[in-house]
Homo-oligomer: A and B are copies of this chain.
């Protein structure tokens, strides 16, 4: 079940364009369509490919502001953690969240329409989650490299 060179070439091609026709993926992998089709299905079944997503332009959706918000809880009880993580799941403007090392507990990726909207999300949603002590916002000024591909080497 480990990936071979064909699988890597297939994944690389799909990372270029997940809607690329199988025949074209096959060219990239120096294979014919049939085995590529079967391999893609196997990669899906094995959970290597978890799904397919459109890459949307946040600006075209009116979402101009990205921020990374570091959050601290005042007590790390199960209830607090449960409540925090559930509030995070429910907030559509929190597009990612990780528990992290260091003096802050969570790193939260927030996307917002503008500064006022970010402020509203921070003050009215994040800071009001019970157990949240402190938040520090890192605001994105410019995206140098957008998150698109994973390394396959």
Contacts and interface: CB of A to CB of B under 8 A. Distances in A.
Interface of A: 3, 11, 14-15, 17-19, 46-58, 60-61, 63, 66, 68, 85, 88-89, 92-102, 104, 106-107, 109, 111, 138-153
A94 B143 CA distance: 13
Work out how many copies of this chain go into the complex: 2
A144 B139 CA distance: 21
Q: Among A101, A138, A146, find the residue whose CB has the most chain B CB atoms closer than 10 A.
A: A138
Contacts of A89: 144-145
Contacts of A153: 92
B50 A55 contact: yes
B107 A68 contact: yes
Contacts of A54: 11, 14-15, 18, 49-53
Given A61-B150, A95-B149, A150-B63, A144 B88 contact: yes
Contact of A140 (B85, B88, B98): B98
A91 to B, nearest CB: 9
A100 B140 contact: yes
A96 B139 contact: no
